Amino acid sequence: AEPGLCSVALPSAGRSSPAMVDLSHCYLHTLGDAEAAKLADLRGRMPDIVAKARAASTDAAAVEPGGQTLWGVRVEEQSDASDILLLKYLRAEELDVDKAAARVTATLVFRADCKIDELAKAELPQAFQGHDFITGLDADGRPVMISRFGGMNIEQVFGDTEAFVRYRAKVMENTIALLKFEKGSAEVLTQVHDYSGVLTSMYKSDVKNGVGAISKVFAEHYPEFKGKTVFVNFPAVFSKPFQALASLLPERTRKKFVILGQDDHEAMFQHVSPELVPVGLGGLLQEPRSTLTSKSHMAIPRARDVVDVSVLEVPGPATVLWELRVCTLEVGYEVLFVADGSAEEEVVAKSDQGVYLKAEEGVRSGQWTAKGAGKILFRFRNEAAWFKRRVCICRAELAQ
């Protein structure tokens, strides 16, 4: 373990994983009788848990009586939110109350000594900025965090292991802050790791030390927050080392990993919708944010093919806002309006003949005023391709 990180010793790498048990009734909205009894047991130990944390940490001892919190939730007070958090610790320890209690104590000490609540509000040093995007909530209410590793300066980001751990912990804290901790609501995150531009320098010892240290911190002090992790643009050279690492992980954890190759936008959008994916990764999310809030539509024209997508019914005279893009290479496009009772297509916008919209141009957008009722249609022409299809995305909505 890496000593000295926030003055807290990290757990050893050899931490054993207990046999898998059924955890489906260890959520507040599905709580079984046996699990409820274990939760009550853990809840009853909270005075002792807090006392041990205060004895182990002067920072924890300085917290006002009854004021111990985890992610902004007062854990000494019974509430749905605090029950949800305690159940996370029970699931992480396969319903072993003794181990769950010990882990809650360790987390209280860790968060107090490392001043995690203050860290969450701190501004990151320049070297750590611009790599991570907390883009919103997915369709199931899970916060989406996208991390792009290709643009990192290896020496500056990974050279100081403690600084790296604090950086990753801050990003995790800011993402968790979007969780509601309400009965039946989302409890985990959706993460996307983009490896485009990553070099073999990621094999350096500084990188391994940093990744190993933060992995231990997350494993010990952020239980049951990991939902699905999608690895995109994953280099083939990393596949074997990753498979070797994954083989050491519990099956429950391995099932949360999705590995995608280069520019596999169609598969990525099955896990994270395009409006939550930054433009630089092939999505629609721009900075500053677009005013459009509607869900996007995907079209995949094959080589030499044309695909139409009807996206919006216009009930009468109105202003229409629209966006579109191609995720790789290039495509020709038309935005069309077809009035009710007519087959005639009115051109809202289009690319010129022989001039194509390129992926690196990002999102093309505009607004247009409809004089009456009808529908908005997007047409994508993959006429420059001989073999490869194109993934295109679009959306339109009425201006408010």
What strands, in cross-sheet order, belong to the sheet with 132-137?
132-137, 143-148, 189-194, 226-232, 257-259
How far are the Cα atoms of 81, 107, 128, 134, 198 from residue 222, in angstroms, in the given order? Answer: 15, 8, 21, 18, 27
* Percent of the chain's residues with pLDDT above 70: 91
pLDDT tens digits for range 15-29: 444 457 899 999 999
Identify the CA nearest to 127 among candidates 159, 169, 175, 174. Answer: 159
Q: What integer pLDDT is reported at residue 384 of this predicted model?
A: 92
Q: What backbone phi and psi angles, to 5 degrees, belong to 390?
A: -125, 140
Q: What is the pLDDT of residue 249?
A: 67
Predicted local distance difference test score (pLDDT) of residue 12: 37
- pLDDT, position 201: 65
How many angstroms separate the CA atoms of 267 and 260, rounded? 8
pTM of this prediction?
0.88
**Mean pLDDT in each 10-residue stretch from start to end of the chain (400 residues)?**
38 46 96 98 98 98 96 97 98 97 98 96 95 95 95 93 96 98 97 86 82 93 95 78 68 83 94 96 95 97 97 98 97 98 97 95 98 98 95 97
132 with 164: CB under 8 angstroms?
no
For residue 198, the model assigns a pLDDT of: 82
Which residues on adjacent β-strands are paired with residue 396? 322
Who contacts 219 (Cβ-Cβ below 8 Å, separation ≥6)? 11, 15
User: What pLDDT score was predicted for residue 256?
Assistant: 87
pLDDT at position 398: 98
The gap between the terminal CA atoms of the chain, to the nearest Å, is 55
Q: Look at residue 10 in the predicted model and tell me its pLDDT.
A: 35
Distances (CA, A) of 134 to 125, 131, 138, 322: 18, 10, 11, 24
